């Protein structure tokens, strides 16, 4: 059975690119684009890895990350944060909230694939 990635992202081009990269490598990629109910979707789908955008409609990726880390069932779920804002403070906020990896847009396809593989192996 293939591993499942849940991509929580609202930009169609990013969704298409990441879905293509990962599905070509054998991953099952599910997508969601609304921050408001993203935590419920994670709980429902129980992915192996989450790729989470910082800026989402309804709720920020940081808030979603904090909620997931407070949930015992998802406290150790591997999470890659994606953001177009790559300042040091953005990375620090994500790391304090509990992300496992942090990547800025634009990203390289190889980096996304390598990071997801690494997170899934934990």
What pLDDT, in 10s, does the model give residues 61-95? 999 999 999 999 999 999 999 998 778 898 899 99
How far is it, in rounded angstroms, from Cα 60 to Cα 110?
A: 26
| pLDDT score at 1 | 56
Full residue range of the structural domain in which residue 35 is found: 4-120
Helical packing angle, 61-70 and 88-97, nearest 10°: 20
Q: Which residues of 45-71 are buried (b: 16+ CB within 10 A; e: fewer)?
A: eebbbbbbbbebeeebbbebbebbbee
CATH number, domain at 31? 3.40.50.2300
- The pLDDT tens digits along the chain (122 residues) read 579 999 999 999 999 999 999 999 999 999 999 999 999 999 999 999 999 999 999 999 999 999 999 999 999 999 999 998 778 898 899 999 999 999 999 999 999 999 999 999 97
DSSP assignment of 2-40: --EEEEE---HHHHHHHHHHHHHTT-EEEEE--STTHHH
Task: Give the total number of structural domains in the chain.
Answer: 1
Model confidence, pTM? 0.96
């Amino acid at each position: 059975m293939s591993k499942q990635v849940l991509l929580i992202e609202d930009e169609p081009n990013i969704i298409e690119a990441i879905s293509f990269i990962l599905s070509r490598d054998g991953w099952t990629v599910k997508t969601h684009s609304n921050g408001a109910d993203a935590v419920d979707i994670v709980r429902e789908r129980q992915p192996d890895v989450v790729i989470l955008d910082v800026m989402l409609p309804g709720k920020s990726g940081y808030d979603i990350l904090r909620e997931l880390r407070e949930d015992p069932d998802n406290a150790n779920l591997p999470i890659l944060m994606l953001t177009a804002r790559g300042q040091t403070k953005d990375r620090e906020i994500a790391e304090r909230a509990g992300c496992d990896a942090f990547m800025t847009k634009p990203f390289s396809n190889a980096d996304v694939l390598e990071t997801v593989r690494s997170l899934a192996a934990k």
